[in-house]
Amino acid sequence: MHIFHLMKINFTKILTIIVLSSLLGLVYNYINPSGLKFTSNVKELRWATDSVLISSNKLKDTLKLHPPLNQLSGTKISPDKKNVKVDKYPNATNTKVKKNESEDTGFGEPLLINLEQAYKLYQMDMLFIDARDGADYNEGHIKKSLSLPYHEFDNYKTVITKIPKSQTIIVYCGGDDCELSKALANRLFFLGYHNIYVFSGGWGQWKSAGYPTE
Amino acid sequence: MYFPEAGDNGSPQVIPRNDMKKLISNIYILFLMRIILSLVFIFAGIEKIISPAGFSESISNYRLLPSTIIIFSAITLPWVELFTGILLLFGISVKENAAIITALLVVFTLAVIISILRGLSIDCGCFGTALGERVGLLKVTENVLLILFGMVLARTDSDYLKL
């Protein structure tokens, strides 16, 4: 207060400006259809048990039924096509995928998985999606993972639609306390991708474990 | 060399001894600082208002605040920025608005410095998601310069071309 007095700054004016503009912001947010809600938009997720992860034949089934990932054309989401397995699913057809979609109800919500579980899915050649910004992805990412920055989700919508709904997807971001992967998983889940896991440890844990990166 | 001072109507005044003091008392320099600071804040405010969700994500990436405060900040902060920017542009309550802007910049800069020290490589969210600027020393330098502008304006005022 003393410094304000010395500098001849009116503290009441400062308070008025802050309160009025904040109120304006609150009112605008209230009437704005895409305004923010005070409850977190990232819901808490449950952990996947190993039995869900491993014993489920669904994984193997969906694996067989997936079309080649190189059909996910659109260069933005496929930064390194060389590493995408192309001829692993030669018999995949759209009809089969469609059939699988109708049968597949998924887990009911995205599930969290730990490092071991993530690695098992990696060995099964599941689709890993990196939710971080492009710059972070370029610095390093899980081998064969695709970049889908959560902040640019809308730019990728046309490409996302090329991923079959039955695809098992593992989403990750920086590490334990980053929300991007959960937020992205929820958005993908909302779009109908129901076989979706969130690798909680993310890039940090994967890298520390010395698992394949690029 | 004679530098007209703030509030100077052409009448001769005592010329400050220190050259730097003379420079920052120059009405045109002060006006330039005012315009730069106000335009930066107006632009930052508008970008954040357009994309509140993106801005709240940017704040959450700093991993410093609980979610309720993040949401509240994402809703109100852009409007404070816009409001103070507009008032500053038109020379209304320059000292007060410059003080608010300086305080905000100090907080933003501390957040950026903490992120650098924690090794976070995140989008700074300074202009919403518009420019995609990363946290880094360049950002700190920019902010320090703007803080200096804000401090000078809060101390000296700038009534050139005011409404």
Q: Output B9 or A85, whichever has higher pLDDT.
A: B9
Say how many residues make up chain B: 163
Nearest to B45 by CA among B122, B112, B97: B97
- The answer to whether the Cβ–Cβ distance between A150 and B129 falls below 8 Å is no
Is a pLDDT exceeding 50 seen at residue B104? Answer: yes
Distance CA A59, CA A206 (A): 22
- Per-residue pLDDT tens digits for A38-88: 765 555 677 877 766 655 545 544 444 444 444 453 334 444 333 333 333
pLDDT of residue B9: 54
Query: ipTM of the assembly?
Result: 0.83
Is the model's pLDDT at A101 over the cut of 60? Answer: no
Of B96, B102, B94, B111, the residue nearest B161 (C-alpha): B94
pLDDT digit string, tens, across residues A179-194:
788 888 988 888 888 8
For chain A, the DSSP string reads -HHHHHTT--HHHHHHHHHHHHHHHHHHHHH-TT---SS-SS---EEPPHIIIII-HHHHHHHHHPPPGGGS--TTT-S-GGGS--TT-TT--HHHHHHHHHH--TTSS-EEE-HHHHHHHHHTT-EEEE-S-HHHHHH--BTT-EE--GGGGGGGHHHHTTS-TT--EEEE-SSTT--HHHHHHHHHHHTT--SEEEETTHHHHHHHHT--B-
Domain ranges of chain B: 19-156
pLDDT, residue A95, reads: 35
Stretch among A42-46, A200-204, B90-94, B131-135 having the lowest mean pLDDT: A42-46
Q: Is the pLDDT of residue A107 over 70?
A: no
| Cross-chain residue pair A17–B93, CB shorter than 8 Å | yes
Q: Are the CB atoms for A189 and A108 separated by under 8 Å? A: no
Residues of A contacting chain B (CB within 8 angstroms): 4, 7-10, 13-14, 17-18, 20-22, 24-26, 28-29, 32, 34-38, 40-41, 133, 135-136, 139, 150-151, 177-180, 183
**CA distance, residue B1 to nearest chain A CA (Å):** 27
Tokens found for residue A152: 């640019």
Q: Considering only CB atoms, which residues of chain B are within 8 Å of chain A?
A: 49, 52-54, 56-57, 60-61, 63, 67-68, 71-72, 74-80, 82-84, 87, 93, 95-97, 99-100, 121-123, 129, 132, 134, 154-155
Q: Which chain B residues contact residue A21 at CB under 8 A?
A: 76, 79-80, 82-84
Q: Is the pTM of this model over 0.80?
A: no
pLDDT digits (tens, 9 = 90+) for A148-180: 988 777 778 777 888 888 888 999 998 876 778
| A178 with B61: Cβ contact below 8 A | yes
